Chains A and B, each alone.
Chain A
Amino acid sequence: QKEVEQNSGPLSVPEGAIASLNCTYSDRVSQSFFWYRQYSGKSPELIMSIYSNGDKEDGRFTAQLNKASQYVSLLIRDSQPSDSATYLCAVKGSTLTFGKGTMLLVSP
């Protein structure tokens, strides 16, 4: 059974802080990793993809991948109240497997 684990949260951070979201996965052969943001009642929105070990930065977002530890994370710098959402980690094996998501709350 391929699993993707995330802390359900909520993770509460003040505006302007760094939010750190973590994800572990069980399938060692996974090659592609994604972070989606989902606002309540809306559909998932792709915000980051990462395929090789190390860091990948895009604006205020940084994805980090460590395949040896089967660990992927998302850092959000200068967090804004509009970042408040559920963040879904997804791992590509034969299909895309999603974690249940971490709820992020950014307080003004």
Chain B
Amino acid sequence: NAGVMQNPRHLVRRRGQEARLRCSPMKGHSHVYWYRQLPEEGLKFMVYLQKENIIDESGMPKERFSAEFPKEGPSILRIQQVVRGDSAAYFCASSTGGADNEQFFGPGTRLTVL
């Protein structure tokens, strides 16, 4: 499967726990983007990463949220001390980073905070 992969597909956490969401970009892509989609809301940009670099994190909440894309392995979106308002679908997209910037989405992780 050469598409964008995300895991887990569903994640349940209790308030105060940590959530780790993983994303492996499409083969040949080195640019990763994370989005959050709340019920009845549009997709909201969170962060844009290349290998070992955060390019744009203007959409990330200032506290509790962090992201990385290490030299080896998947990109990880980490949410510390989750609250009920963090319940959402989190999508990862990847691109080649070329001028067209076509982004292709993974299946998403549905996070539920109890």
Contact = CB atoms under 8 A, between A and B. Distances in A.
Interface of A: 4, 32, 34, 36, 42-46, 49, 51, 88, 90, 92, 94-101
Nearest to A8: B40
Q: Is the interface of A mostly helix, strand, loop or mixed?
A: strand
A88 B44 CA distance: 12
Contacts, number: 48
Q: How large is the interface on B (under 10, 10 to 19, 20 to 34, 35 or more residues)?
A: 20 to 34
Contacts of B33: 95-96
By CB atoms of chain A within 10 A, which of B43, B45, B100, B101 has the most?
Answer: B43
By CB atoms of chain B within 10 A, which of A44, A45, A46 has the most?
Answer: A44
Contacts of A92: 101
Given A43-B107, A45-B105, A100 B45 contact: no
A95 B106 contact: no
B102 interface: yes
B45 A51 contact: no
B69 interface: no
Interface of B: 33, 35, 41-45, 48, 56, 58-59, 91, 100-108
Contacts of A46: 102-105
A94 B41 contact: no
A51 B104 contact: no
Nearest to A31: B99
Contact of B103 (A51, A96, A97, A101): A96
A42 B107 contact: yes
A95 B45 contact: yes
